[in-house]
Chains A and B, each alone.
Chain A
Amino acid sequence: MNQPNNPTREYLAAPISKVGPLAWVKKNLFNTWYNSLLTILTLGALAYIVPPFFKWAFIESLWNSSSDACRDIEGACWSIVPQNIKFIILGFFPEGQEWRPILAMILLLALVIYSKERSRWTKLLAWMWPIGLIIMGTLMYGGVFGMPVVETDQWSGLPLTMMLSFFGMVMAYPLGVLLALGRQSKMPAIKTLSVVYIEMIRGVPLISLLFMSSIMFPLFLPDGMTINKVLRAQVAIIMFTAAYIAEVVRGGLQAMQRGQYEAADSLGLNYPQTMRLIILPQALKIVIPPTVGILLSAFKDTSLVVIIALYDVLKTTKVTLQNPHWTGYSTEAYLFLALLYFICCYAMSSYSRRLEKELHTGH
């Protein structure tokens, strides 16, 4: 990568061939004078940035050492991650029980991966999900088979992030569909309620809903009744995501041709039947890709619960950074976390792109 001049000189000297790496280089990097200039400038910039970063990240770095050893080196102290991995990933989950959340997360991952193929979307899968969720819940909560009970307030770190995003998506989806139907409805009262809800939620930041859940919501409840902090935040995330899903689904509904409604009418189907059997299956299929986009941002947005002191994976990382031994290694810890989020989000977004392609050819 570091000798931009070399290929240039070679291609000038030799006759232009239509194949081979040199031809590729000419065609893709040096096809016009300004592209050549751009290539050289970019390569120069990369040469300036990449080697020092490489040296910092890989050569002069420590991968698993004590924090004291890290004070003496110039490079990255990746040790912060393996040395604190238990707290970063699992948070307050009691010691000796770590296998339970890990197993639950693996189960969730396996289910998600299994559900990827559309050919597997069958009755069997419809049973696997609730059963899998019950197993996961049992693993986390315990209380049976000799597993000690772990209260929900000890669920933190990655399992909490996953729980908030998963239930956020699953519960927000049907709510969003209902809201979208409400917005398209011919009944003025229903329509107004839906529109007001959707536009209001979409107009305010998530943080205001989280504030509402954390400091305002307790005032709404009758004296003596409390709702767990995690659940309150979960409700806020669901309410927020539902409004966005509603708008996406509305797009799908609007794309349906009048003929579909008329055909359903002529068959004598009533409104719920029309929606359930004719309109929604088609409309929802159209909007699968943008819906995944919404779910993706819902996943990223769960990190905002940091601000109301829930210990999701970002918060546990921050607490680790506040430990006297490990202050000053924010870059390393945040890069690790960024990688973690990136892997999850990238998998989801490339899946959505694949679906988009599959669904497109289906027409």
Chain B
Amino acid sequence: MSNKLPPDIAQMPSKPPFWRDAEKRAIAFQVVALLVVAFVSYYLYSNTQANLERQSIATGFGFLDKEASFEIGESLIEYSAADTYLRALLVGALNTVKVSFIGITLMIILGTLIGVARLSSNWLISKLAASYIEVMQNIPVLLQLFFWYAIFYESFPPPRQALNPFDGLFLCNRGVIFGVPETHAAHAVMGWAFLAVLIGSVFLSRWAHKRQDLTGKAFPTLRITALAAIGVPLLIWLAYGAPTAMDVPALSGFNFRGGVTVSPEFSALLLGLVIYTSAFVAEIVRAGIQSVGKGQIEAAMAIGLKPGQRLHLVVLPQALRVIIPPLTSQMLNLLKNSSLAIAIGYADFVAVTNTMINQTGQAIEGVALIMLVFLFFSLSTSLFMNWYNKKMKLVER
């Protein structure tokens, strides 16, 4: 609208009246728009203030350091009913991060598998993948969550008759319980060593690239890294005398003690989210792979690249460029859909905030917190993926 004057007006020597002047009109229009927004906000704000006052509802975030006085089923950090609301919210936020992180990882793996299966030359596999995609995309995720949760608690036996397919693993309506190695000094060292190998591999790959640029000799960075990542912790484990003690779950009292328990709520949420979203990811992966021209693969064959190299050096870098933007939005979808946890009783951030709203009656603060926290999660995911996308784009020369 602004600087697109019709030619006849632009050539007019005298100044047009201000309502004909596109630039001034633009300014007036913006002022009006801002005024309307400001007025509406003020109106809502004053109504809210009046209502809060009339109903004597407390305002502000002072409640955050009051005692929460409710228990939370699962938590990554130490928590009890005597802790503050702030800590309860932190527990909820961490639970959201937990389910989203694991969910996104599984979603990418499953989605890629199904997307590749969809392109398989095997008719049966391809059709199965196609029907998976069609069916799962077209059923609301909330319905899927209810379905999986119902399966969990209606079909699995109680703890005393838990299914025990092999030693150390129990399946019952309290969830999946499995044994883990007992804590030992070796584990921490192994973890650090693993991390060190990963950091080392970054430098290794830089050096390898440089060397390849100079000499043309390829260096098997990936294989060496994989070998080291497994081998070094293994050596440390052996050096510590190979501790094999396991923390095996056993039935005591009401529930299993020991081992790690994955609750049905968490499992149902994870299952529903991953199955639903991976159907979309599969379509994205399929489109991505199909976007790489046949000529590219033929060219790669012609210069004698092995199948693995073809995939790694030619197909993937190009397909990823098509895949990453829509994949990012599916990651965000999974993150946002994890808020449906409240419907099946997983203590995510929304569920904890909901309880808090019920107890304190401070709806505005509660909803604002939910929005802020999810905005933060969404934006940080987007930022990370944008960075990754840019990095992948650099491969293009």
Contact = CB atoms under 8 A, between A and B. Distances in A.
Interface range for B: 35 or more
A240 to B, nearest CB: 10
Given A215-B367, A271-B4, A330-B150, A222 B47 contact: yes
B205 interface: no
A219 B47 contact: yes
A203 B375 CA distance: 5
A232 interface: no
Contacts of A29: 122-124
Interface stretch (B136-144, B157-165, B308-316): B136-144
A20 B300 CA distance: 35
A203 B370 contact: no
A28 B122 contact: yes
B140 A330 contact: no
Interface stretch (A37-45, A110-118, A147-155): A37-45
Given A39-B124, A334-B143, A341-B139, A186 B2 contact: yes
B146 A193 contact: no
B150 A42 contact: no
B154 interface: yes
Contact of B138 (A218, A318, A334, A345): A345
Contacts of A307: 340, 342-343
A204 B375 contact: yes
Interface stretch (A85-93, A276-284, A297-305): A297-305
Given A28-B122, A189-B33, A220-B44, 17 more contacts: A29-B122, A42-B125, A43-B124, A186-B2, A186-B3, A187-B30, A189-B31, A205-B370, A219-B51, A266-B7, A271-B1, A300-B141, A303-B143, A331-B154, A338-B143, A338-B144, A341-B139
Interface in A161-191: 185-190
Contacts of A261: 4
B363 A205 contact: no
Contact of B363 (A216, A306, A335, A345): A216
B375 to A, nearest CB: 4
B77 to A, nearest CB: 23
A28 B126 CA distance: 10
A57 B164 CA distance: 28
10 contacts: A204-B370, A207-B339, A207-B350, A219-B364, A265-B4, A270-B6, A303-B142, A307-B342, A330-B147, A345-B139
B367 A208 contact: yes
B37 A193 contact: yes
Contacts of B141: 300
B122 A39 contact: yes
Contacts of A208: 339, 350, 367, 370-371, 374
Contacts of B142: 303-304, 306, 314
Interface in A253-293: 261, 265-266, 268, 270-271
A307 B357 CA distance: 15
A211 B350 CA distance: 10
Contacts of A265: 4, 6
A221 B6 contact: no
Given A200-B375, A330-B147, A341-B140, A189 B121 contact: no
Interface string B330-342: 0010001101101
Contact of A341 (B44, B138, B150): B138
A220 B47 contact: yes
Nearest to B365: A216
B64 interface: no
B151 interface: yes
A99 to B, nearest CB: 28
A219 B138 contact: no
B367 A211 contact: yes
B18 to A, nearest CB: 16
A55 to B, nearest CB: 16
B48 A220 contact: yes
A31 B34 CA distance: 67
B182 interface: no
Contacts of B29: 187, 190
B50 interface: yes
